Amino acid sequence: MLAQLQFPAVMGILNVTPDSFSDGGKYASLDLALEYARHMIDEGVDIIDIGGESTRPGAAPVTAAEELGRVVPLVRSLRQISNIPLSIDTSSPEVITAAAEAGANLINDVRALRREGALEAAAASCLPVCLMHMQGNPETMQMNPHYVDLIEDIKVFFEQRIAACLSVGIREEQLILDPGFGFGKTPEHNLRLVNRLSEFKILGRPLLVGLSRKSTIGKILESSLREKKQGLKQELLIGSVAGALIAVNNGASIVRVHDVAATVAALKVRKAVETEKADH
Ligand code: 7PJ
C-alpha cells in the first residue's frame, strides 16, 4: 500500500466513537459513517483513518469488543464500495487482526504497538504501520509533559519502536513515523516539532503529522476568536490547513486532517508552485 501512495497524501479522519475529538460523535452509526467516507472520497482524500477509540486527553478507555463493534463492520462495508486505502487508528491486537481480515490497509497506532500482543498482531497482518510517539497515556499525558531534549527523546523512542518491529519481522519499509502532536506535549513542544520536523527524516521513513483542530491550533487563535466573536470552526479549519501546509513544507509525507477539501486545495496550490520550480 505504501509504495502506491503519492506523497504528500491526505489522510481523512473518520471517528466512530461516541465522544470523538471534534465531530461530537456525529458519525457513530454505520450509515452516517459510510456517507461521510463517500464525501471524503469525493473531496479527494488519499487514505481514510477509521478510529473507534477516543484518545482525547482524559478519555475513558474502551474495551476491544466495543472497538471491534465500531470499526470492523465499517471496514467491511467500505471495502465493498471503494478501494480507497483504509487506515485503522487502534492499539488493540484484536482490532488489528479483525480489521486486517476485513480489508484494512494500514495500522495507525498512537501507542506505537506497545500494548501486549500488538506487535505480533501487526506482524501477522503484514500491513504497514504508523508508529506514533506519545509520552504517558491519554488519561494523564497533558498533566506535566517534560523532555530532556524533545527531538532527541522522540528520535530515541522511534529507534526503539523500529527495533521492536524489526524483531517480530515487520519490515522497515512498512513503517511510518509520527511525532504525535498533542500527545504528552505542551503548545511550545508542538510548535518546536513543526519547526524541526525534518530532523526525523534521518530515520529514513515517511513522516505522518496530525495537527488538525488540535488544542495548540485553538490556543494560537483564541484571542482573535474572542475579538471577532467569529465561529470557532471556520477559524480552526483555516488554522489547521495552514498547519498542514507548513508540515508538508517541513517534510511531512502524510497529513491527518478533518477538513479534506480545504487541505487538498492548499496542497494543490503548493504542488503547482513546486512544479514550476522543478520545470526551470
Ligand atoms: C493522531 C492520531 C495523530 C496519528 C489522533 C485527534 C486525536 N494518529 N490519532 N497522529 N491523533 N497517527 O485527532 O485530535 O496526531 S486522535
Nearest residue (by CA) to ligand 1, atom 2, is: 110
Nearest to 17 by CA among 70, 90, 74: 70
Using the structure block, give the residue that is written with the C-alpha cell 497529513: 255
Nearest residue (by CA) to ligand 1, atom 1, is: 210
Q: Mean pLDDT, to the nearest integer, of 168-176?
A: 98
Choice among 79, 256, 268, 277 that is catalytic: 256
Q: Which of 110, 135, 240 most suits a substitution to test ligand 1, by most atoms within 8 Å of the C-beta?
A: 110
56-112 residue pLDDT tens: 777 778 899 999 999 999 999 999 999 999 999 999 999 999 999 999 999 999 999
SS3 55: coil
Query: What pLDDT score was predicted for residue 5?
Result: 96
Is a pLDDT exceeding 70 seen at residue 224? no
Q: Which amino acid is at 177?
A: L
214 an active-site residue? yes
Pick from 25-34, 123-132, 142-151, 195-204: least confident? 25-34
The alpha carbon of 1 and the centre of ligand 1 are apart by a number of angstroms equal to 20
Is a pLDDT exceeding 90 seen at residue 237? yes
Give residues with Cβ within 8 angstroms of 27, minimum separation 6. Answer: 14, 15, 16, 20, 33, 36
Q: Which amino acid is at 163?
A: A
Choice among 111, 214, 228, 229 that is catalytic: 214
Nearest to 60 by CA among 138, 134, 133: 138
Residue 128: pLDDT band (50, 70, 90) is very high
Query: What pLDDT score was predicted for residue 218?
Result: 94
- Does ligand 1 lie within 6 Å of residue 256's CB atom? yes
- Does ligand 1 lie within 6 Å of residue 47's CB atom? no
Residue 153: pLDDT band (50, 70, 90) is very high
Question: How far are the Cα atoms of 49, 52, 55, 141, 235 from residue 25, in angstroms, in the given order?
Answer: 15, 10, 13, 22, 21
Pick from 23-37, 142-156, 166-180, 230-244: least confident? 23-37
Q: Mean pLDDT, to the nearest integer, of 35-44?
A: 97
239-279 residue pLDDT tens: 999 999 999 999 999 999 999 999 999 999 999 999 999 88
Query: What pLDDT score was predicted for residue 226?
Result: 62
**Ligand 1 atom nearest residue 132's Cα:** 12
Is a pLDDT exceeding 80 seen at residue 16? yes
Q: Which of 49, 91, 132 most suits a substitution to test ligand 1, by most atoms within 8 Å of the C-beta?
A: 132
Question: How far are the Cα atoms of 142, 227, 247 from residue 231, in angstroms, in the given order?
Answer: 26, 11, 25
Q: Which of 54, 71, 183, 216 most suits a substitution to test ligand 1, by most atoms within 8 Å of the C-beta?
A: 183
**Ligand 1 atom nearest residue 182's Cα:** 15
The alpha carbon of 276 and the centre of ligand 1 are apart by a number of angstroms equal to 33
The alpha carbon of 269 and the centre of ligand 1 are apart by a number of angstroms equal to 25
